[in-house]
Structure 1
Amino acid sequence: MVVEFQDCFSIEEVPNSIGLEHEYARITNDGKFYCYRNLVQPPCECLQCLQQFRKASDQSVKLYAYSAALSYDEAEKMATGLLQSMPENILYLRHQCSVNGDLILKRWKKSSKKRSSYLLAADPDLYPHQWGDAHFLRDYVKKIQEEEASGEYTADLTQGSVRLAFRNACLLPHLNREALETNPAKFLSLLYNRIHYTPDQWAAYDNFLLVKPWQIGALKTVYNSNCVMIYGKHYGRLTRWNEKDSHAWRIIGFPRAILVLEAQEKLLSFLRGVVETLVSGPSGNEAIGTSDAFTKSLAIGLRLSNETSGAAEFASTYLNQPYCPPPIWDVNSLMSIAQSRMNLHSDHLWLLQTDPAYIRRYVNIILAGEWDEILTKRQKDDFSASQIYRDAVTFWSWVGIVEEVKLLQKLHSKIAEDVRMYPQFEEAYSRALASIGAILETHINRRAKQIDIIFPTRPGFRHKYKFVNISQGRTSGVWKERKEFQPYAELFFADRLHWCLSLLANPSLDPMEGHISKYFPWHNYTMIFAALDEHLGQCRKSGRKDDIARLDEVLYSEVSDISAMHEILSRIRLYYPSSTNFEHRENTKDGTSKGWRYINKHFFAQDPLRSLGDEIPQSEDGKQKYAAENHLRKLLNEFLAVPRPTGSRMRQTWLEEDTSQRAALSRLWAGMRARHLQTLKRLSIDQKDIDTDLQDLSADSDPNYIEILEREREDILERIRVSQMEREIKLGTFAELSFGGWWAGEASPKDELPKTKTKVKTRAEVDQQEFLEDSPHALLPQEIGGQQQAIQASMSKSSFGIFRSMFPGRDSEEAPQKSIKWDTFVLAMAEPDVGFVARHSAGGSAVQFEPNEHSKWAGMGKIVFHKPHPVPVIDPVMLLSMVLLSLLLVAVLFYLGTRPGNARSIGATIEAVNWKPLVKLVFPPPIEKKIKTVLAEKYGHPVGPNHQAIAHQRPLKSGVTPLGQGPFLGALAKKENEALIRYQRTRFEGH
């Protein structure tokens, strides 16, 4: 039985009771009677069930009322009807792709005009715009403005009401003419992935896409009190509602589940319609045998469409997830995202403490824009010091997130060992998910407020705002206002980048927001990040570098952090919508992780960068706060005033200047530690957390780091002495040496060893042993510390140059002088013998490089690098911070024998070596032996034939892997080693 729900305008029209859960309510409009409306009570009104059934009171609004009620038989018939056509369509599509794959590829790729005709033939009403959310919102705001101007108002005018006529666009937002005809790969990938994965594998994602349309009432649905099984072999089967399975989303209420089935059926029918058009006519349906061209071309997934890196780098997951394989639940991927961001901020914090050049550069970057002009000198130093401290706070926020994910990972491992344990851990698992979700929401909201304060002041946006310095006394403040009023609904079409950042700062922001319940956001973060990714991609493709540069390094870091947080949050909600359970979220306040300890103690709320009117719980005394900030400001100012070293490092003056600036930097961080300690004690933070935090802020005073700096200093002094000796020898003033033999009258070595120029082919495999045997410059044994011999890889000369520039020599003259394009770096990583493929799947700016099946490092792990922005170019300074500065690649030379026991490293010892002989003049053996003897007597550093070099590094957490170990570095170092051995041997033979 089907009961149509219609409004009744008199009591006589109201039918008898339909069921116990039904009732007719009296609806009024402006206090006057309007109608009687059928309201249906859901089985449960908890948060989980209200995402599957309509709340009874909400149904008083026409938009949220059911259109009909179905009996069990009718509901089962509707679900079965949708299910029956799905396997038929999938089988048809698989057959056509197998038989006519070449034809489908050929015809679809012809032109965008042709593609448009194929799409419209399958669906004449296909929605034309890619960003339907933005277009619907603009239409909605226009209607509100028109009604306000005319004084005539429409009942139930909401976001959802303007979308009711576009049902397919709400069910399938990625199915639109603009996206599919512009990029031919999207339709082909959509087709491939929908026929290679079953509907139940797509159910979680397809249900996730319905979150906003369901919230705003954009989709009319029917009522039945039962549920639909959404996973496994009984997918789509009707079943009775029960609290446990429904709250866990193992079954979904019929009103919501029928929308998922409808969306899947419509999508497969649409794909079949397009393919039928493509294969119709001559050459279609007549192919003999099968073709694997379709499968081969699409099996690897969507690639970037630019010319340089399209063969190596996968496209944005935000923008292209609907056209990619269905996302799977992977706890380890959550850890990878969180660990990657934590490591990035750890490296950044470490560099701020140990590299004077890095922190000078950073201060200049954060002050760029309006801050540099509107703030006084004192306020600039205040802001810079607080921003540096805020970066440490950001790192600790990620430490808390990582700790929460580790707790989830531990539970997941227990369940994975024995699935029968799941019922025992189900409640704990749900609470762990809810805890991660709640802590992420806390940090997302905090970071969104910071973006709202920061982005209008940056160079790319300051021209759109007016600023006034409203500082009074010891309180600094800046008031801002947009110069030109423009609704944010229009801003999407006028300035996409400004729109994205505005919405990231406040997803519900709009002058017309009073017309919408605060419970429903205007846009979700997924749509914002997808629009941002597309905009940046289009700017790069069209050469609009100025627009890309507006999203500068500071803003990009903030956006990347929120992106990573949201990616973790969305993955949790995708597969575990119950993680939003308010009861669980309330219980997380008693969490024992560091993240919750700091939240409950209001540590993150102490940030001085806030909007006027925001209160700080347990705020600091004003005088104490001013004194502490004044001290940090003074220390920062003193550091910046110290002259930076210039010129060659091989000078005593350079060493003295470097020592002075490092001492000033250490005093600054001693002040930071004191300031942080003061805050933690005021908030009654546990001593264990205090000790850990202070350790994070003590990189500059770490004994291992100080020891390495001292060794580097001694090495430079030794080089200065040797350089002086070389000059004395050249001038003939080195009295201690008595030269004889062939230097006294025998034939010149030039006569015996004519100069030859040997060209090194970097692509060829090099037999390292050939150069190690009898070489006076043998650098390393085959193994160090029991490590296995590293893998060797061939590569082009240009790629080898890129990798070698990442591991330059010690001298400043050998530092990389040229920038490296990101696309070129991606291609170098994708060399056939290297075989690392880039994927935007590690969160935020992180790009994950994973070895393919043909790589020599297949199955050995992943490497995560962070894509530079605004310009996708790795400049020389950041290249060194990316690999050298972050790694602290300090080559410590040991002469005459191996002494690895004396070589302490901050993190690990690897085979990466960059060595140049201190004695650059090459002598025949008899004379060389005598010189070495004199050097040993005069300078106390004997130079033997078995020079050893051990490279010490602090593991680059963000640039190697989330765990600080990369499979690629050892072989790269070995290749570097071989090149140096070959170079030195050639040089010896040449002279």
Structure 2
Amino acid sequence: MPTNLELNLRGKDNVRKEWLVDRFVNTREIHPELVYYRSPHEYGCCDDCPECTRQYRPLFEQQIDSRIYDDELEDAAAHDIASAFTAGIFQDLAYIREKLQCHGNTIMNRWTKKGVERRRILIKEAAPGLYEKKCAQVHLQYDHDDWPPKRAFRKTFLLPYLTVENLCDDKTKMLSLLHARASSEPQDWTMFDSEQFNDAFARGSLGLLFNPLCVVTRGDRYGQLDVWNKDGAHAWDMIGWPRGQLILEAQAELMHFLRCFVDQLLEGCNGESGSEKWQEVVTVGFKASGGQAFWAAHSRQAFTAAPSFNPRKLLEIAQTRLASAEDDLYLLQTDPAYAILQVTNLRKLKFYTLMGKESPDPWSPTAIEILQSHRRATMWRWVSNELAYVCSLDQKLSATDNVRAGADYNLAVGALHTLIKNIISQQVARLQIIIHALPGFQEIYEFGRNSNRQSTVRVKQIAGTETTLVDWFAKDPLFWAVHQLRCDDIRDIVDINKAFYFGFIDDLLANAQPKEKARLDQRALDYLSDMAGMDSILCAISYHRPHVMAVDQDTAVRTQGQREGGLSTWRNCTKEPPVKGFRQGNTPGAALKTFAEAGWPKGKRDESWLAEADRSRHLLNEFWTAMASHLRMLLDESGRSQEEIKFEMDLLQSGHAPQHLADLELEREAILASRADKQDRHSFALPEWAASSALPDKPVSLKDLANAHQKPKRRRGEGDDIAQDFSELHIGDGLQQLLSEEVQQAGSIEVNRDALRLFENMFSKSTETKGTVRWQQLVGAMVDAGCTVYCNGGSAVTFKHGTKSIVLHRPHPEPTIDPVILKADGERLKRRFGWDAEVFREREKGLA
């Protein structure tokens, strides 16, 4: 017979409560005789509000032993505690700032000159009892089965990144932490500091005292107490005492530790040393030891500048990722060598081989995976559209500052929050599938069949025992971290930000042997890079001050789906992703098999090479025509309008774009012009359908294009008619922007001899690449050409030249660039920057 508590909880449609019932109520002791404390309901605070339940313990949670309040505080005692914490925070902050101003050079020099062991001793003296290992919250969770022992590690749960290993292994982290806190105000870190103990707060690992008042966490009254009100609490300008007190406590502990650290370093220091060198270093920015690149800045947020919500910066990130996704989809449609490389890499994986055996069309799983490139571009296009809209509202709000503009802005940011969480949920679901196919993990899984002869996949057991996540954390931490990324936070109240796992993987790869690094192949890194990029936007939204509540999906569709430009996102993102299997008779898999087996010609470019290249391009076109037909069928079944379907289908028209056809014509002319015999030259004129946005009704081969003579031959320099066609072709926002500009030389760029050779190799029309090109060489050449470089998450590296940016992916595990990828990167630089081999010339020796 279920208890009254179970009946009460199960009668409410609430995922969080259901999770608690299943996970805790049936396994832990209930204390009906204890006193329970209601959140300030007399002012409107309730147990069903997602914002309020993050600040106070709901009544149903207090009936679980680990969630019971330790005691109730009188208002006067709460005021005294908050005042003490706040005074300590600001006094220590002022002290640290004064010491950095007078002794910044000494602090930096003394710390950087110490070895690892000396750093460990100093840190322990500054903070006796500091937890030793990295990833403290994970170790504590796995080391203790129940909650009472965990409460002895209160400081560690409040500041989980503050451990001896984490601060000492990389000498720049401690200095970065010192600068990050000294150069900002405590209120700038409120949302981040609150997030650090989300998991401990949810699990009951922190003892809590109840008081109905709220801690003011924004403005001149920071740290003072006030009566709860809905607007302030939901904006997190004030935070309920149980969580607000923990934020003040965490900040007070951190600032006290930093003050003790400074005192330890300056012990015996006579006279001021100034801070000129310190200021120079912090202006440039601290770099990790060994030049380690990170998935995203948010995976090291504690050691960087205070987090903030900057929609224009986020829009730039999203647009750069969108351009990368569109380029990948473009190359898959137009570059047979690139497409064959991607297909070949997929076919090497055991998962797709086994899946193919279960299908009437053995190549269909591979074809479906190739179609994911369309989904990736679509998702980044959604995010770019919505961020552009938020930027426009932000600009309007800054100009007018009226109530209506503010309401529209908050609604748009809340809808964006919902959109990003929706996309991350889809990425997580996708990772749950592809993790089985990752080369470094596929041996961990057992592939079999159930009683219905259906394929099954399950994790192997370690030494014949029932394997848990604890075992994998110790035995295979890389698999553990990737496995944790595939957990869906929506169905779990336990909350460790995904940035933690990206940082965990960073640390593993930085110190791993080559064999271990190779377990995450290029495809895995690229996929995780996309997840990290999306998660960084979600984190930035969660740090927004004042906090903006997420809008439920129905409200987002109703309010955002009708506005101009909104249809591309809010009428589509909530519908079933079009990734179902192929129907009988529709065989993109067979077309893909034919194309892949035909291959791409090598050797000297002559008439014979052209004939083989024509056939390969024709077969690639046949495959994408079949894929377009399949996608259109799925979109029709999903209930989308014709306008929405056209928006989705535009991304699959790259193979028919005028610029691509014109490039093929020029390539053919250049090859035939170099031959003595020019009798059989063909001109690629543009057929009528190329100037429209509709796909042809039937497959169009290169032979069809060669025989379509609606226009005369085009010579170099005679491109006005082609440019006019570009403006009429709608094939995606990123590509539309590109085609609206004249694709021409970007001026002359002077580079050194080595860079010139690399660019000549990259833009060469030859099928072969001369020599081996390493990633560091490409980065050096791009910097020499005037680009700035920064990590964009995982393998994604952004190169910015003027106002234009492009993302290139760092090869992994070997730092050598595949010749096909090098050529593909050259094609992308041509599309995005307007570069080709003729743009570059050698710089005179002696010139910088």
TM bin, normalised by shorter chain, reads: 0.7 to 0.9
Q: Deviations over 1:72-97 (max 9, x none)?
A: 43333322222222232223222323
Mark the CA change 1:576 to 1:366 in structure 2 (over 3 Å): closer, same or farther: farther
Does 2:118 align with 1:167? no
CA distance in 1, matches of 2:811, 2:548: 34
Q: Is the 8 A contact 2:215 2:223 kept in 1?
A: yes
How many pairs align? Answer: 746
Q: Tell me which residue corresponds to 1:386.
A: 368
Q: Tell me which residue corresponds to 2:22.
A: none
Q: Is the 8 A contact 1:529 1:563 kept in 2?
A: yes
Larger radius of gyration: 1
From 493, 496, 511, the counterpart of 1:538 = 511
From 173, 176, 198, the counterpart of 1:211 = 198
Q: Deviations over 1:365-421 (max 9, x none)?
A: 112221365343965411121112232123222222222222222222211223x22
CA distance in 2, matches of 1:316, 1:571: 12
Does 2:649 align with 1:694? yes
From 429, 434, 445, the counterpart of 1:454 = 434
The 5-angstrom pairing of residues 723-802 of structure 1 reads: 796-802=752-758
CA distance in 1, matches of 2:591, 2:742: 46
Q: Tell me which residue corresponds to 1:679.
A: 634
Q: Tell me which residue corresponds to 2:617.
A: 662
From 105, 120, 133, the counterpart of 1:102 = 105
From 323, 326, 330, the counterpart of 1:343 = 323
Does 2:491 align with 1:528? no
One-letter identity of the residue aligned with 2:80:
K
Mark the CA change 1:523 to 1:686 in structure 2 (over 3 Å): closer, same or farther: same
Q: Tell me which residue corresponds to 1:587.
A: 555
Q: Tell me which residue corresponds to 2:419.
A: 439
From 554, 560, 574, the counterpart of 2:543 = 574
CA distance in 1, matches of 2:29, 2:271: 70
The 3-state SS of whatever aligns with 1:252 is strand
Q: Is the 8 A contact 1:316 1:533 kept in 2?
A: no
Mark the CA change 1:235 to 1:585 in structure 2 (over 3 Å): closer, same or farther: farther
CA distance in 2, matches of 1:471, 1:686: 42
The 5-angstrom pairing of residues 186-201 of structure 1 reads: 186-201=173-188
CA distance in 1, matches of 2:518, 2:391: 39
Q: Tell me which residue corresponds to 1:466.
A: 446
Q: Tell me which residue corresponds to 1:968.
A: none
Mark the CA change 1:689 to 1:492 in structure 2 (over 3 Å): closer, same or farther: same
Q: Tell me which residue corresponds to 2:837.
A: 914
Q: Tell me which residue corresponds to 1:410.
A: 392
Q: Is the 8 A contact 1:120 1:126 kept in 2?
A: yes
Q: Tell me which residue corresponds to 2:233.
A: 246
Q: Deviations over 1:649-695 (max 9, x none)?
A: 1x110011111111111111111121122222222211112223332
Does 2:469 align with 1:482? no
CA distance in 2, matches of 1:793, 1:687: 46
One-letter identity of the residue aligned with 2:326:
S
One-letter identity of the residue aligned with 2:825:
M
CA distance in 2, matches of 1:820, 1:247: 51
Q: Aligned-pair distance for 1:869?
A: 2.9
From 282, 298, 305, the counterpart of 1:298 = 282
From 583, 601, 607, the counterpart of 1:626 = 583
The 3-state SS of whatever aligns with 1:326 is coil
The 3-state SS of whatever aligns with 2:384 is helix
Say which is worse superposed, 56-65 or 199-208, in terms of deviation: 56-65
One-letter identity of the residue aligned with 2:593:
N
Q: Deviations over 1:503-558 (max 9, x none)?
A: 112257xxxxxxxx96423643121111111111222xxxx122111111222232
Say which is worse superposed, 182-191 or 219-228, in terms of deviation: 219-228
One-letter identity of the residue aligned with 1:363:
V
The 3-state SS of whatever aligns with 2:447 is strand
Q: Deviations over 1:12-53 (max 9, x none)?
A: xxxxxxxxxxxxxxx999899774324233331221112122
Mark the CA change 1:441 to 1:705 in structure 2 (over 3 Å): closer, same or farther: same
Q: Is the 8 A contact 2:235 2:549 kept in 1?
A: no
One-letter identity of the residue aligned with 2:236:
W
CA distance in 2, matches of 1:413, 1:567: 22
From 111, 115, 129, the counterpart of 1:125 = 129
The 3-state SS of whatever aligns with 2:254 is helix
Q: Is the 8 A contact 1:467 1:481 kept in 2?
A: no
Q: Aligned-pair distance for 1:974?
A: 4.5
Q: Aligned-pair distance for 1:698?
A: 1.7
Say which is worse superposed, 220-229 or 318-327, in terms of deviation: 220-229
From 50, 53, 70, the counterpart of 2:53 = 50
Q: Aligned-pair distance for 1:266?
A: 0.9
Q: Tell me which residue corresponds to 2:822.
A: 879
Q: Percent identity?
A: 25
CA RMSD of aligned residues (A): 3.4
Q: Deviations over 1:206-251 (max 9, x none)?
A: 2232322222222223333222221223322322221112112222
Does 2:590 align with 1:608? no
Does 2:571 align with 1:597? yes
Q: Is the 8 A contact 2:325 2:377 kept in 1?
A: yes
From 258, 268, 287, the counterpart of 2:271 = 287
Does 2:623 align with 1:641? no
Q: Gapped runs of 5+ residues in structure 1?
A: 1-26, 144-156, 509-516, 610-624, 725-778, 780-784, 852-856, 890-906, 916-972, 980-991
Q: Aligned-pair distance for 1:488?
A: 1.0
Mark the CA change 1:494 to 1:277 in structure 2 (over 3 Å): closer, same or farther: same
What is the TM-score of this pair, normalised by structure 1? 0.70
Mark the CA change 1:273 to 1:235 in structure 2 (over 3 Å): closer, same or farther: same
CA distance in 1, matches of 2:501, 2:668: 50
What is the TM-score of this pair, normalised by structure 2? 0.81
Q: Tell me which residue corresponds to 2:730.
A: none
From 839, 848, 862, the counterpart of 2:798 = 848
One-letter identity of the residue aligned with 1:275:
V
Q: Aligned-pair distance for 1:185?
A: 0.7
Where relative contact order (Cα < 8 A, 6+ residues apart) is larger, the structure is 2
Q: Aligned-pair distance for 1:125?
A: 1.0
CA distance in 2, matches of 1:407, 1:223: 42
Q: Aligned-pair distance for 1:450?
A: 2.3
Q: Deviations over 1:299-355 (max 9, x none)?
A: 32232422xx57xx6785244210111112101122223222222221111111111
Q: Gapped runs of 5+ residues in structure 2?
A: 1-24, 562-566, 680-716, 718-740
CA distance in 2, matches of 1:429, 1:504: 31
The 3-state SS of whatever aligns with 2:209 is coil
One-letter identity of the residue aligned with 2:38:
V
CA distance in 1, matches of 2:819, 2:744: 32
